[in-house]
Structure 1
Amino acid sequence: MNIRKQGRQPARVSTLSALGAAVALLAAWAPAQAAVSVKGVVAGTLFTPPVISDSPAQATAGKTAASVYAGATVCFDANNNGVCDAGEVAAISKPDGSFLISSRVAAPLIADITTAATNGGKPVAQHLVLRVSADQIAAATTSPLAPAVVAITPLSTEVVRMVEANGTNYVTESQALAGRLGLTVTETLASPVALSGNAQTRVMQESVALTNRWAFASKLVDRKEVAGVPAAEQAAMNIEGIPRYDHIFVIMLENKATLSIKGSAYAPNINKYLNDGNQFTSYFATGNPSEPNYTALGGADDWGITDDNQWNCGATGANAVQDLPLPDKSQPGLASSPFNATCTQTTNHNITGRANIFNALSKAGLQWRTYSESMNPGQDFRTDSVADAAVTAQDHVYAPGTVGGNSAQIGSATLVLPMPAGLYKTKHHPGMAYQNVRSEPGFKANNRTLGGGQWDAQMLASTKYAIPAGYDVDQFGTDLANGNVGQLNFVVPDQCDDMHGITVSGTDGGKAGTASDCSSVSNAVSPTALSPIITRGDNYVKYLVEKIQASPLWMNRNKRVAIVIMFDEGNATSGFNSCCGWNPVSTNVDAPLVNTTGSTTRDASITGYGSGNKGHGESIFGLLTNQPAAPKHLVDSDYYSHFSFVRTLQDMFGLADPADPFSYMNRSKYTEAFIAANLALLPEYAGSADAHFDSVRPMNHRYVFPSSYTQKQSADVNTPAQTGPDATQTNLWSLK
């Protein structure tokens, strides 16, 4: 027995000795090893911008591809300043974007991507910094013996920014971003190269938008306008105080002064939305009549247009139409087209070579849509809709008490109304006048149908044009259901539902009759005058708002979605009938300012330019958002116009740089500082008595009116002018 015990003892001693030696060796070795090791990739997207041209043959669509960054400096950002400082552990990403980096101390990672790096094998155009949080690295660590695997991407950077902005944590914000995209967290934070199908498409779309923001953030740091990348990223998401929205729907209505709508018993729904949401109470048109206002909404200028004539009018020489053939009745399949191939006029209506919101969105890799109601199935949407006796509808019948308190029924249930001409009008399309918009490869696809119209039920019985297979009368509804909408969406009702009004005739028991609710009323109709068309438009606004608010898009609170309810113009033609970049003089002296050679000059090439941009009064502008924490029930009484709205959209989608006035399109650059700096070239402002009233600003509610200041207003407002500042200066676009 003893001998056997003794025989085992040496082996046990040997084993324990070896184990002790190993532990001692490990203890001595461990402190020298990395506390954090990361194996990853610097990835994103390579976006090739579209070629914008007046010529359809030269215009091309943009392209997006998943990509990796080679030559990026990756480092542990111990002080979280977004810079690879001296002493911080760093590595360089390889040609495949990969890197391996280790540190004794857990810290965030950044990828500093300079113009010496490459993206998808091509030189990086602009410096940017991408980030990954220490918490994401920790979440990706599956074993202390294996490196964490992460992708440093624009989306990982957005998660870091969201945590810093909201004071939350990685888990909360990574789930929020994934929820915004409708993906898993793993998909959202993966390299786009590693994804496929729908997940890759969504991540690439978001990556393009975010890359633009982070490049701008780096520009702010490089110019020393903002200290540190974290602060710059917040600024890049709130340019001039306007936060980024994912989608905005602009519901366009027609020809009503503020006094005709605000408080009117004929517009209870619109008034409810104004009160439930936020409203801008000093909003001015910039032109007269409709076409110049819509053109201004498309590009912050009306280019001297002062009528509603076709977009080919006066289009000669350098302004000649290029998207040929014209959509007139001589073309195959367009025998019913009302388009006039000849329109001789002094003022050009085909705007060539000018910046606009549609091209700007396309160049940034973003999407736009225009949804128009009551187009003829199969028509060319570059021309107006036509009458069609084969498409009929019943008259709208209103019970007592439903039209401003009417005591008797309005309308006849037996009145049959054939579809009239001119329900859809090209003058109400904000992009139609711009040749380079019509020449975009995606122009046709981006112009879509809008349902809810009086004649929709019979629309497919149309005989005027060949109806395309699978024609969708309501692409708007389809797109809302599947999320295939643009960042910017103009929603344009027909001329009955937008409150414009046309003559709609039919038969009732063999007798002639007129529609109950499409006859026009004055732009400044009294709020107490019988106005069925206002109630009709008000009901249609309710239909649209409820449709948007019932959509998965709106219900997803991780997406930032807004609805604007606005009119193209009011009624006033004198006095303070416009503001904010308008032309306040009666003489034809002004010209747009351009900067193509490094110096600012006047472009005197536009015939009749000085006749435009004179405004047409005030109208309501309401704002609804889907953000639960957003401010509500607020009023901003500062002066804004269509030019201000276009500037706001440029800020919202990251399309311009406040440090460069000429990055803002056309008259949206006419801030108080810009006008003062270029007053010698802007004679229309030489005698300005109120520089704030006359100049453009984003709709950010920053300006505080002096306590003794009495606001200017037009005859389109029937309430006393406000003296002093608003009750609060809260930004009505704020997300929280």
Structure 2
Amino acid sequence: MNKQPSQVFRKSSKALAEASLVAAICMVAACNSTHDKTLAGVVAASAYVPGSTTGDPTIKAGYYKGATVFLDENGNGVLDSGEDSATTDATGKFSLKVDHNASGQLVADITTSAINTAVNAAAPSHLILRASAAQVADQGEDKIVISPMSSEVQRLVEANGSSYAAEKANIATRLSVPFNSAAALSVSGADALADVNTLSGNEQAAVLFEDNALTNRYTYATTKLDRGDKYPDALAVAGGDPTLADTAGITSGETIPADTRTTITFAQAQQAAFNIEGVPAYDNIFIIIEENKSTDAVAGNPRAPTINDILDNYNKLSTYYATSNPSEPNYTALGGGDDFGVTDDNWFGCGASGQYAPTDVAFAGGTASDGQVIPAFAALPPADSARRAGYSPTSATCGDAPTQGAVHNIPGDNLFTVMSKAGMTIRTYSESMNPGQDPRADSIADPAVVGLYDETDGDGTEVKDTQAWPVRSQLYRVKHGPSIDFQAARNLPEFYADNRTIFGTQYTEADWKKQTAYPDFDASNWNYDQFGTDLATGDVGNINFVVPDQCDDMHSVGKSGVDGESCAIGSSNGNNGQNAGITRADIYVNKVVTAIKNSALWKNKQRRVAIVVMFDEGEGGNNGSCCGWNAGGPNSGAAPVTVDADGKATATTAPTNYAQGNFGHGNSIFGIVTNQQDVGTAKKAVTDSDAYSHFSFLRTMQDMFGVADPARDASYLNRAKYTEKFIAENIMALPEYTDSADTHFDAVRPINHAYKIPDTYVQKLYPGDITGVVNPDTGMVEGAITPQVGPDSSQDNVWATK
């Protein structure tokens, strides 16, 4: 039966009234159709806590309280008008109601008013993290975890043009290496993106370590976005630094490209934080440092097949300069970007009085992360000349109360302290340390430790000694320690744990356990190869200096294993001789490189790992170097500088004899191997012939591990900040550059192959490298190098990962 019109009207009116009531209630309760989806989860945090003495940093898990979470519909990383937001509670939880049609990534805006509950302290800097829509769909709308790891997955998706699923699996693979355990650690994709607070054991430790490094990167990305930086960094622009166009004092004729850069976007800022100055972020780098041989003595030398294989088939710098002579100032330059006037190999107490006097404190002993027992040490190493080079109690320069001489104890930050402050690790692995010895002291002779040299060279030929020889003194020398001259590095809690052992070629662990040099030390459980242990467990440093002993570093004539005589310490026959010691050193390089390449770390395609084979110095003379050196010579008036917030440099009072240092030295070998060349698609046989130095390498490492900011000159250590622009703008504080005839050659650049050498520019080599050296076996001149004219055939980056 049909309804009467009046009945229909009455029922329709009732329905409209009910609908209006529901709409009104929903407007008050925020439940209408424009707010019908709830996104919920946590914003997870990590925090580095200084003080660990084991060599592994302490990193705690927590949450961000007071962070603003919003749906970033336009992808700009900024909370815009009309975008819904919520605030995290004391446990990091958020609940965000959004329109069911809204889409985009979830962003957590963490300001300095937010609290990191891991340490119950305010976030030290502005930080923006994000989680992709794909992750939200994967984890569920009520189980979302926003973290540095979630940000990293989305960044990789954008960088590689890949998918969320692929990068989720890749980041799990990146973390799935042995970590402080004999058993391999396998982290699932779900756990990599999970709330780190819910993980435990080695899995949590691995994720926290990665989270901390990523937090550093994304904090920097946020800084770049907030500042409105241009993209890319000026020194990463192809062709050269475009900001030099308006800078007075630059050598005429230098290539300066037009500045076509635009203000950085949110997505670009996140990519730029992992490619600072065009230097890709790496997880680990191993730096093997050989000694006292110039380019012409090694290049093409059949005694060095391993090193030449790297130079010929991997990547290299063909114009790389040492910064001084002898060894110690070069290692100090690598560790801190300045040699501070040191021109000898003496111990760190030399010239160190007054404000420079050592402040080392006694070490109570402990245990390294690999289980190695570390004995107690006094405030200073034993007071004798065998362990303190150059020491004499009454010496005016190296005695108990020095009154003159260059300061060997350097104050302030260095590579070791800036890495430590960032919660990352940097280690020195040294061959032939006495069991139980203080790493700040030279090694001493021990007649109870006897070994026969018997190795195979790179061509498969046995190189064998005629008899066993006891350990000599000074196989290990602190002059070859990049951290030793820096007071703040020696005062780090992890200093003793981070100075570790590495296998040798002549003396085995069984040999070393017979030690009598330190009778109070129980060597029965001593590990002579912490390097091998750390490679097996994945517990190596982010930066690892590998220092052979003085028989395996080309420092000596290396007769052991060649003509039946013990390795003759200190008889190097100069830096340019093609002597038999090169064979022994090349064998050692081969053993180290092979061990690294055989590790799970190297074979993990999702990790970025590099090996550098370099020399402390070449064949050269005073004022023959480049790139941050004391170009004006010993009478230049050079002094260290401080830099204010505006980038203005002010000269300080120079330590005694400061201008006697940084005087430059000759060209030397610098070869680069990356695992992305072996397990990935990175190019091989890339040569970069621009001029670089130890200061350039230090700047590059700061970029590589994200512990510097190109917009803040002061963030670069000492002379590593001396770019062309910095020198030109601060020339009044840098008298050593007032007469520079070539500002590019005299200035520091990151090793990124961005600068294009002008077509008519002649490569500057030390004369000895041009003429070569006579091979004593053949009587022929070998290693002669013709200086290159103009740029390389390509501008490929030697660190490129694909």
Which TM-score applies when normalising by structure 1? 0.88
Equivalent in 606, 612, 627 of residue 580 of structure 1: 627
Match of 2:793 in 1: 727
Equivalent in 647, 653, 668 of residue 720 of structure 2: 668
Unaligned runs of 5+ in 1: 1-20, 142-146, 404-408
Match of 1:461 in 2: 514
Equivalent in 654, 664, 676 of residue 605 of structure 1: 654
Equivalent in 594, 617, 623 of residue 569 of structure 1: 617
Matches within 5 A, 1:55-70: 63-70=58-65
Q: Deviations over 1:649-691 (max 9, x none)?
A: 1101111110111111100000000000111121111111100
Q: What is the number of residues matched between the two proteins?
A: 685
- Whether 2:435 is the aligned partner of 1:377: answer yes
**Do the aligned partners of 2:290 and 2:615 also contact (CA within 8 Å) in 1?**
yes
**Do the aligned partners of residues 568 and 494 (structure 1) sit closer, same or farther apart at CA in structure 2, a change above 3 Å counting?**
same
Q: Look up the SS of the partner of 2:513 in the other structure.
A: helix
Deviation at 1:185, TM superposition (A): 1.3
**Do the aligned partners of residues 232 and 49 (structure 1) sit closer, same or farther apart at CA in structure 2, a change above 3 Å counting?**
farther
Matches within 5 A, 1:498-513: 498-501=553-556
- Whether 2:550 is the aligned partner of 1:551: answer no
Q: Deviations over 1:19-66 (max 9, x none)?
A: xx9xxx9xx999937675321001111334569xxxx9xxx9975321
Which TM-score applies when normalising by structure 2? 0.81
- Whether 2:133 is the aligned partner of 1:134: answer yes
**Do the aligned partners of 1:40 and 1:149 also contact (CA within 8 Å) in 2?**
yes
Matches within 5 A, 1:310-709: 310-324=347-361, 338-339=387-388, 340=391, 342=393, 343-345=395-397, 346-396=404-454, 412-413=465-466, 415-456=467-508, 457-465=510-518, 466-468=521-523, 470-501=525-556, 514-515=565-566, 520-525=571-576, 529=578, 531-574=579-622, 577-588=624-635, 589-595=637-643, 600-627=649-676, 628-709=680-761
RMSD over aligned Cα atoms: 3.0
Deviation at 1:516, TM superposition (A): 7.2
Q: Look up the SS of the partner of 1:69 in the other structure.
A: strand
Equivalent in 250, 260, 276 of residue 313 of structure 2: 276
Q: Which whole-Å CA distance do the structure 2 matches of 1:504 and 1:47 have between them?
A: 48
Q: Which whole-Å CA distance do the structure 1 matches of 2:436 and 2:763 have between them?
A: 49
Q: Look up the SS of the partner of 1:562 in the other structure.
A: strand
Equivalent in 222, 226, 232 of residue 226 of structure 2: 222
Q: Greater CA deviation, 655-664 or 226-235?
A: 226-235
**Do the aligned partners of residues 61 and 678 (structure 1) sit closer, same or farther apart at CA in structure 2, a change above 3 Å counting?**
farther
Q: Greater CA deviation, 118-127 or 355-364?
A: 118-127
Deviation at 1:412, TM superposition (A): 4.4
Q: Deviations over 1:151-178 (max 9, x none)?
A: 1001100001000000001111111111
Q: Which whole-Å CA distance do the structure 2 matches of 1:434 and 1:330 have between them?
A: 15
Q: Which whole-Å CA distance do the structure 1 matches of 2:266 and 2:758 have between them?
A: 36
**Do the aligned partners of 2:458 and 2:586 also contact (CA within 8 Å) in 1?**
no
Match of 1:5 in 2: none
Q: Look up the SS of the partner of 2:671 in the other structure.
A: strand
Residue 499 of structure 1 aligns to which amino acid in structure 2? M
**Do the aligned partners of residues 400 and 379 (structure 1) sit closer, same or farther apart at CA in structure 2, a change above 3 Å counting?**
closer
Unaligned runs of 5+ in 2: 1-14, 177-186, 230-262, 364-375, 398-403, 770-783
**Do the aligned partners of residues 608 and 74 (structure 1) sit closer, same or farther apart at CA in structure 2, a change above 3 Å counting?**
same
Q: Deviations over 1:429-467 (max 9, x none)?
A: 000011111111110001100103311241111111123
Identity of aligned residues (%): 45
Residue 266 of structure 1 aligns to which amino acid in structure 2? R
Equivalent in 210, 213, 217 of residue 209 of structure 1: 213
Q: Deviations over 1:109-146 (max 9, x none)?
A: 011111222221422221111000111111123xxxxx
Q: Which whole-Å CA distance do the structure 2 matches of 1:471 and 1:193 have between them?
A: 36
Match of 2:168 in 1: 174
**Do the aligned partners of 1:114 and 1:126 also contact (CA within 8 Å) in 2?**
yes
Q: Which whole-Å CA distance do the structure 2 matches of 1:163 and 1:34 have between them?
A: 29
Match of 1:13 in 2: none
Match of 2:90 in 1: 95
**Do the aligned partners of 2:558 and 2:581 also contact (CA within 8 Å) in 1?**
no
Q: Which whole-Å CA distance do the structure 1 matches of 2:455 and 2:197 have between them?
A: 57
**Do the aligned partners of 1:117 and 1:123 also contact (CA within 8 Å) in 2?**
yes
Deviation at 1:709, TM superposition (A): 1.3
Deviation at 1:632, TM superposition (A): 1.2
Q: Look up the SS of the partner of 2:556 in the other structure.
A: coil
**Do the aligned partners of 1:75 and 1:89 also contact (CA within 8 Å) in 2?**
yes
Q: Which whole-Å CA distance do the structure 2 matches of 1:398 and 1:125 have between them?
A: 53
Deviation at 1:325, TM superposition (A): 5.8
**Do the aligned partners of 2:362 and 2:379 also contact (CA within 8 Å) in 1?**
no
Equivalent in 70, 76, 88 of residue 75 of structure 1: 70
Residue 565 of structure 2 aligns to which amino acid in structure 1? T
Q: Which whole-Å CA distance do the structure 1 matches of 2:559 and 2:685 have between them?
A: 38
Q: Look up the SS of the partner of 2:70 in the other structure.
A: strand
Q: Look up the SS of the partner of 2:586 in the other structure.
A: helix
Deviation at 1:280, TM superposition (A): 0.5
**Do the aligned partners of residues 87 and 601 (structure 1) sit closer, same or farther apart at CA in structure 2, a change above 3 Å counting?**
same
**Do the aligned partners of residues 203 and 331 (structure 1) sit closer, same or farther apart at CA in structure 2, a change above 3 Å counting?**
closer
Q: Deviations over 1:266-319 (max 9, x none)?
A: 111111011221001100000110000000000000000000111111221111
**Do the aligned partners of 2:196 and 2:207 also contact (CA within 8 Å) in 1?**
yes
Q: Which whole-Å CA distance do the structure 2 matches of 1:378 and 1:150 have between them?
A: 50
Matches within 5 A, 1:27-66: 32=33, 36-48=37-49, 63-66=58-61
Q: Which whole-Å CA distance do the structure 1 matches of 2:606 and 2:748 have between them?
A: 32
Q: Which whole-Å CA distance do the structure 2 matches of 1:352 and 1:303 have between them?
A: 7
Residue 738 of structure 2 aligns to which amino acid in structure 1? A
Equivalent in 143, 151, 162 of residue 156 of structure 2: 162
Q: Look up the SS of the partner of 2:766 in the other structure.
A: coil
Deviation at 1:727, TM superposition (A): 0.6
Q: Which whole-Å CA distance do the structure 2 matches of 1:114 and 1:579 have between them?
A: 43
**Do the aligned partners of 1:396 and 1:517 also contact (CA within 8 Å) in 2?**
no
**Do the aligned partners of residues 411 and 393 (structure 1) sit closer, same or farther apart at CA in structure 2, a change above 3 Å counting?**
same
Match of 1:110 in 2: 107
Q: Greater CA deviation, 718-727 or 598-607?
A: 598-607
Deviation at 1:344, TM superposition (A): 3.2
